[in-house]
C-alpha cells in the first residue's frame, strides 16, 4: 500500500464525516492557538522587562547607600556614612576597568516658567550620566563636562516637562525657576517613556553639586559605575566593595550588578512562559482526548467498513495505519489551523498594544506543531488498536 | 481446490459450547457453482467465513489449493483474501463516501496498485457488470441491483479464483436478483468458482450442486455423497 494512497483514503474518510472532523480539528486548533498565544504573551513580558533594563545601559554597577542585609543590626551602632562626591571621585581615580562614574542626587521641587508651574523630580548628576544611562537628546545638549564640584545653572528637561511648561514654544535658552533658583534650559531629552518607576520624560536634570546645595544634602541617592566589558564586572564589583569598605571603615553600601538583575528577571519570566505553555498544553491534552473519543466513535461506527476492508484483503497493519493516519491528520490539520489562529491573535494583540513585544518563541511554534501531530499519534493508537482487534466476521454480520 | 476434512467450529456462548459446524467434510473443485442452503443457524455463514479465511476452524483441516490454511500466518492470509477470494454480501457493504469507481478501487488500494491503473481496472470491472454509465455515482444514488453490481465488480477486480456470495439476492427484487445471478453465473462460466449461500430455492436450483446444512452438519451434497455428473 502506498503512503499517498493511504493519505488519500484517510482524507476521503475525514471528508466523508465532516461534522466530527470539524469538531476534533477545532479542539486541537484551540489548544495549539492557546499555546502559541500564551507563550507569545510570556515571551513578550520577558522581552519587555529585559528591554527596559537594557535600555538603561549595559555593564552597570549600582551603588546604594545603606546595606541590605538579613543578618540584622549594623556594626558599630548602625551608623551609615553618606555616599558623597568624594566617594565618586575615589571610584573614578582608584578603580580599574571603570569607564564612567555618574553620581545621582534626587529631590522634588516646583519648576516654573512664566505663569506655569509644575512639581517635578529634580535629578542631579554629571555629564557622564548621559552615556551611562543612554540618554538621547531631542534638542540642545546634555550637561557640560567639567568639574562636578562646580555646579552650574544649566537644566535639561524631560520631553513631557518641556511640553507642559513651554507648550509648542522653544525652551532652549529660556530661563526657568526651580524653587528659588534660576536655571537656563540647555537641552530637551528625546521621548523615552517610563523605565523602572523612573519617568525620564517628566523630570529635570541639573548639575549634581547644585542639586545637593538646593536640597541641602550631602549624600547621593545612587552612584552608577559603568564597567569596561562584561568580563570585568565581577572583579570591578569586588574592588568597588573593597574601596567603599576602606573609605567608610564598614560595609555600609550595597552594590548591585544590573546584569544579574536583568538575568534573574529574564529567567523568572522565562519560567513563567514555560508555565503558561504548560497550562495551554492541558487544553491540548483535552483536545487529544477529544480526538480519541471521536476516533473511538468512528471505529465503532465503521465496524462494517473495517470488516469489509479485512474481507477485501487489508492486513491488520494496514488497518492500524489507516486509523492512525486519520487521527494524525485530524490533529495535524488542527495544529496548522491553531498555529494560524494563534499567530493571528498575537498579531492582532500587537496591533492594539504596539509597546508590548508579544512574539511566540520559535521553540513554542516547533513544539506546538510536533505536539499536535503527537497528540493524534498518541491518542489515535487506542482506537486504531480497537479497529484492528475487531473480528471481521462479527463486524460484517452487523448491519 | 477446496478440501474440508472433519472441520468443526465451536463458539462459546456463556457456559455452553455451540457447534456451528460439526465434522464437516467437503470437497469443492475449481469452477464449480455451489449453493449452500439450510435453515437459519445451520452454520451457512460460518462455513462461508471459514472458506473466506475470515474465521478459523476450531479443529479439522481446511486445504485451499493444496495448502493447509491453519499453517498460513495472519499477513499471508490477508494476501490470500486479497488475491484469491472475492466476497459479495447481502447488504452490499459499499463505502457511502466513495463513488462506484472509488468503491471498486478499494481492494487495489490495499494491494498497492498504482492510481492510474486502479482507475482503469475499476472502470473495466464496472463496464463488465454493465455500469458504464454509473462511474461517478455514489451508492445512495444507485438502485439495489446496481449497488450489488458495484459490489460484484469490486469482488472480482483482483481476479480471484473463488467468489463467496452471502445471500447476494436477499435484498433485491426478483428482477434484479435474476440479473445478479446471471452476472455471477457468467463469471462462473469463465472459470470462477462460485459458492452462494441462499435461502431462496430458485437461486439454489441454479447451482450445479446444492450443499444442505443442518445443525452444523452436511445433510446433503458433501464430498462423500456427491452425485456423479
C-alpha cell at A308: 469489509
Domain membership of residue A72 (yes or no) is: no
Question: How many structural domains compose chain B?
Answer: 1
B75 touches chain A (CB under 8 A): yes
Domain membership of residue B225 (yes or no) is: no
Separation of alpha carbons B210 and B207, rounded Å = 7
- Number of H helices and E strands in chain B, helices first, is 7, 10
Provide the 10 A C-beta neighbour count for residue A130.
22
Domain membership of residue B37 (yes or no) is: yes
Domain membership of residue B150 (yes or no) is: no
Cα separations (Å) of A355 from A50, A150, A197, B179, B190? 14, 40, 17, 77, 81
Say yes or no: A113 and A223 in one domain.
Answer: yes
Domain membership of residue B104 (yes or no) is: no
Domain membership of residue A257 (yes or no) is: no
Say which of B55, B74, B97 has its CB closest to residue A12.
Answer: B97
Say which of B45, B75, B93 has its CB closest to residue A315.
Answer: B75
Say which of B54, B109, B114 has its CB closest to residue A9.
Answer: B109
Cα separations (Å) of A102 from A111, A122, A140, A222? 24, 16, 21, 9
Q: How many CB pairs lie under 8 A apart between chains A and B?
A: 76
Phi, psi of A259 (to 5 degrees): -60, -35
Say yes or no: A363 and A225 in one domain.
Answer: no
- Give me the residues of chain A with pLDDT under 70, please: 1, 54-57, 67-80, 193-197, 398-399
Q: How near does any CA of chain A get to the CA of B173, in Å?
A: 19
Cα separations (Å) of B108 from A2, A293, A323, B126? 11, 30, 18, 14
For residue A316, list chain B residues with Cβ-Cβ distance below 8 A.
74, 78
Domain membership of residue B178 (yes or no) is: yes
Provide the 10 A C-beta neighbour count for residue A244.
23
Say yes or no: A102 and A215 in one domain.
Answer: yes
Domain membership of residue B109 (yes or no) is: no
Q: Is B95 exposed, middle or buried (0-12, 13-18, 19+ CB in 10 A)?
A: buried
CB contact under 8 A, B107 and A16: no
Separation of alpha carbons A109 and A122, rounded Å = 7
Interface test with A, best of B79, B83, B93 (most A CBs within 10 A): B93
Say which of A304, A305, A314 has its CB closest to residue B110.
Answer: A314
Residue in chain A lying closest to B98 (CA): A12
Say yes or no: A202 and A87 in one domain.
Answer: yes
Domain membership of residue B211 (yes or no) is: yes
Radius of gyration of chain A (CA): 33
CB contact under 8 A, B95 and A317: no
Say yes or no: A276 and A242 in one domain.
Answer: no
List, run by run, the mean pLDDT of 10-residue segments along chain B (229 residues): 90 85 90 91 89 90 91 89 91 90 92 90 92 92 92 92 92 89 91 92 90 88 54
ipTM score of the complex?
A: 0.87
C-alpha cell at B185: 453465473
Say yes or no: A218 and A290 in one domain.
Answer: no
Say which of B49, B80, B111 has its CB closest to residue A393.
Answer: B49
Q: CATH number of the domain that B184 lies in?
A: 3.40.50.300
Please give the residue range of the domain that contains residue A130: 82-249
A301 touches chain B (CB under 8 A): no
CA angle B221, B226, B228 (to 5 degrees): 135
Separation of alpha carbons B163 and B152, rounded Å = 9
- Among residues A217, A249, A281, the one where a domain terminates is A249
Residue in chain A lying closest to B158 (CA): A312
What is residue B162's predicted lDDT score, i.e. its pLDDT? 94
Say yes or no: A167 and A245 in one domain.
Answer: yes
Phi, psi of A319 (to 5 degrees): -60, -45
Question: How many structural domains compose chain A?
Answer: 2
Please give the residue range of the domain that contains residue B194: 2-62+72-94+159-220
- Among residues A189, A224, A249, the one where a domain terminates is A249
Q: How near does any CA of chain B get to the CA of A392, in Å?
A: 6
Say yes or no: A272 and A370 in one domain.
Answer: yes
Say yes or no: A204 and A321 in one domain.
Answer: no
Say yes or no: A129 and A21 in one domain.
Answer: no
Phi, psi of A288 (to 5 degrees): -60, -45
Phi, psi of A180 (to 5 degrees): -100, 5
Say yes or no: A239 and A288 in one domain.
Answer: no
- Please name the residues in contact with B110: beta carbons below 8 A apart, sequence gap of 6 or more: A1, A309, A312, A313, A314, A315, A318, B82
Domain membership of residue B173 (yes or no) is: yes
Separation of alpha carbons A232 and A213, rounded Å = 35
Q: Is A78 exposed, middle or buried (0-12, 13-18, 19+ CB in 10 A)?
A: exposed
What is residue B151's predicted lDDT score, i.e. its pLDDT? 93
Amino acid at each position: 500500500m502506498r503512503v499517498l494512497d493511504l493519505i488519500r483514503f484517510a482524507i476521503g474518510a475525514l471528508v466523508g464525516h465532516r461534522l466530527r472532523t470539524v469538531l476534533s480539528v477545532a479542539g486541537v486548533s484551540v489548544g495549539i492557538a492557546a499555546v502559541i498565544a500564551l507563550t507569545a504573551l510570556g515571551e513578550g513580558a520577558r522581552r519587555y522587562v529585559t528591554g527596559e533594563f537594557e535600555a538603561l545601559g549595559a555593564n552597570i554597577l549600582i551603588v546604594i547607600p545603606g546595606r541590605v542585609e538579613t543578618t540584622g543590626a549594623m556594626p558599630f551602632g548602625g551608623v551609615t556614612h553618606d555616599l558623597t562626591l568624594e566617594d565618586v571621585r575615589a571610584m573614578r581615580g582608584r578603580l580599574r576597568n571603570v569607564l564612567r562614574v555618574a553620581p545621582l542626587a534626587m529631590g522634588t521641587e516646583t519648576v516654573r516658567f512664566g505663569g506655569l508651574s509644575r512639581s517635578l523630580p529634580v535629578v542631579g548628576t554629571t555629564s557622564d550620566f548621559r552615556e551611562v544611562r543612554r540618554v538621547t537628546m531631542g534638542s540642545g545638549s546634555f550637561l557640560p563636562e567639567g568639574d562636578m564640584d562646580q555646579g552650574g545653572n544649566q537644566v535639561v528637561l524631560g520631553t513631557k516637562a518641556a511640553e507642559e511648561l513651554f507648550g509648542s514654544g522653544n525652551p532652549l535658552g529660556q530661563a526657568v525657576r526651580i524653587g528659588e533658583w534660576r536655571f537656563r534650559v540647555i537641552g530637551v531629552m528625546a521621548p523615552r517613556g517610563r523605565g523602572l518607576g523612573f519617568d525620564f520624560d517628566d523630570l529635570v536634570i541639573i548639575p549634581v553639586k547644585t542639586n545637593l546645595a538646593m536640597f541641602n544634602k550631602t549624600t547621593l541617592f545612587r552612584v552608577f559605575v559603568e564597567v569596561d566589558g562584561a568580563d570585568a564586572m565581577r572583579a570591578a564589583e569586588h574592588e568597588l566593595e573593597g574601596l567603599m569598605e576602606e573609605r567608610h571603615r564598614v560595609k555600609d553600601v550595597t552594590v548591585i550588578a544590573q546584569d544579574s538583575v536583568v538575568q534573574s528577571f529574564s529567567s523568572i519570566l522565562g519560567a513563567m512562559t514555560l508555565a503558561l505553555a504548560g497550562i495551554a498544553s492541558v487544553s491540548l491534552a483535552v483536545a487529544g482526548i477529544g480526538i480519541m473519543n471521536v476516533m473511538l466513535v468512528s471505529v465503532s461506527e465503521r465496524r462494517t467498513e473495517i470488516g469489509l476492508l479485512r474481507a477485501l484483503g487489508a492486513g491488520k497493519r494496514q488497518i492500524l495505519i489507516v486509523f492512525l493516519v486519520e487521527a494524525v491528520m485530524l490533529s495535524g490539520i488542527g495544529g496548522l489551523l491553531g498555529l494560524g489562529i494563534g499567530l493571528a491573535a498575537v498579531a492582532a494583540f500587537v496591533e492594539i498594544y504596539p509597546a508590548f513585544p508579544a512574539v511566540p518563541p520559535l521553540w513554542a511554534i516547533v513544539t506546538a506543531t510536533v505536539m499536535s501531530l503527537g497528540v493524534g499519534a498518541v491518542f489515535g493508537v487506542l482506537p486504531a488498536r480497537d479497529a484492528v482487534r475487531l473480528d471481521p466476521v462479527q463486524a460484517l454480520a452487523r448491519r | 481446490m477446496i478440501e474440508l476434512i472433519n472441520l468443526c467450529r465451536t463458539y462459546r456462548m456463556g457456559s455452553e459450547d455451540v457447534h456451528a459446524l460439526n465434522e464437516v467434510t467437503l470437497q469443492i473443485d475449481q469452477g464449480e457453482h455451489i449453493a449452500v442452503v439450510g435453515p437459519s443457524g445451520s452454520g451457512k455463514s460460518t462455513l462461508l467465513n471459514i472458506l473466506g479465511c475470515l474465521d478459523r476452524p476450531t479443529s479439522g483441516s481446511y486445504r485451499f489449493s493444496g495448502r493447509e490454511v491453519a499453517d498460513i500466518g495472519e499477513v499471508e492470509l490477508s494476501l490470500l483474501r486479497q488475491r484469491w477470494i472475492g466476497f459479495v454480501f447481502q447488504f452490499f457493504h459499499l463505502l457511502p463516501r466513495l463513488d462506484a469507481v472509488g468503491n471498486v478501487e478499494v481492494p487495489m488500494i490495499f494491494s498497492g496498485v498504482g492510481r492510474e491503473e486502479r482507475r482503469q481496472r475499476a472502470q473495466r470491472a464496472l463496464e463488465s457488470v454493465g455500469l458504464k454509465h454509473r462511474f461517478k455515482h455514489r451508492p445512495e444514488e444507485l438502485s439495489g441491483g446496481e449497488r450489488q453490481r458495484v459490489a460484484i465488480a469490486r469482488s472480482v477486480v483482483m481476479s480471484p479464483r473463488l467468489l463467496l456470495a452471502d445471500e447476494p439476492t436477499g435484498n433485491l427484487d426478483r428482477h434484479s436478483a435474476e440479473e445478479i445471478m446471471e452476472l455471477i453465473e457468467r463469471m462462473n462460466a469463465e472459470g470462477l468458482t462460485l459458492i452462494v449461500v441462499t435461502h431462496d430455492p430458485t437461486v439454489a436450483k441454479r447451482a450445479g450442486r446444492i450443499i444442505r446444512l443442518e445443525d452444523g452438519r452436511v445433510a446433503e451434497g458433501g464430498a462423500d455423497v456427491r452425485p456423479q455428473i
